Structure 1
């Protein structure tokens, strides 16, 4: 009977070690997946930042040009009225 208990405990120990190994593998796999997802999300975020930045730069350029045109029109208008 002691031999049967010892064999049973040995099998349980092997099963637990196998389960620990499986859990460790799963943990590593999930960590890698989350790193991959995080990297992809950072890339997408970076694309949005670049898009917004170029839009802001273009908007500043356009606003500046419109302001200059308004100034030139004002000057021309005042020259013609004098």
Structure 2
């Protein structure tokens, strides 16, 4: 009976070690996948920032031009009224 219990415990120990190895392998695989996803998201985020930066620059440029035109129109309008 003691031998059967010892054999059973030995088999359970092997199974637990095997499961532990499987869990560690899964942990490593998931970590690698998340690193890959994170790298892709960082790349997409960087592209988004660059795209937005160029849009912001364009909007600032256009706003500046509109302000200058409004100023010139105001000056011309005031000159024509005098």
Query: Any unmatched runs of 5+ in structure 1?
Result: none
Query: Any unmatched runs of 5+ in structure 2?
Result: none
- Give a deviation string over 1:58-81, Cα, whole Å, max 9, x none: 101011112212222333344445
Deviation at 1:20, TM superposition (A): 0.3
> Following the alignment from structure 1 to structure 2, what is the Cα–Cα distance between the partners of residues 79 and 2?
112
Q: Which residue of 2 aligns with 1:62?
A: 62
- Matched pairs, number: 82
> Following the alignment from structure 1 to structure 2, what is the Cα–Cα distance between the partners of residues 70 and 3?
97
> Following the alignment from structure 2 to structure 1, what is the Cα–Cα distance between the partners of residues 31 and 41?
15
> Following the alignment from structure 1 to structure 2, what is the Cα–Cα distance between the partners of residues 6 and 29?
34
Q: Which residue of 2 aligns with 1:3?
A: 3
Task: Give the TM-score of the pair, scaled to structure 1.
Answer: 0.81
- Give a deviation string over 1:6-57, Cα, whole Å, max 9, x none: 2111111111100000000011111111121122122222222221111111
Deviation at 1:2, TM superposition (A): 2.0
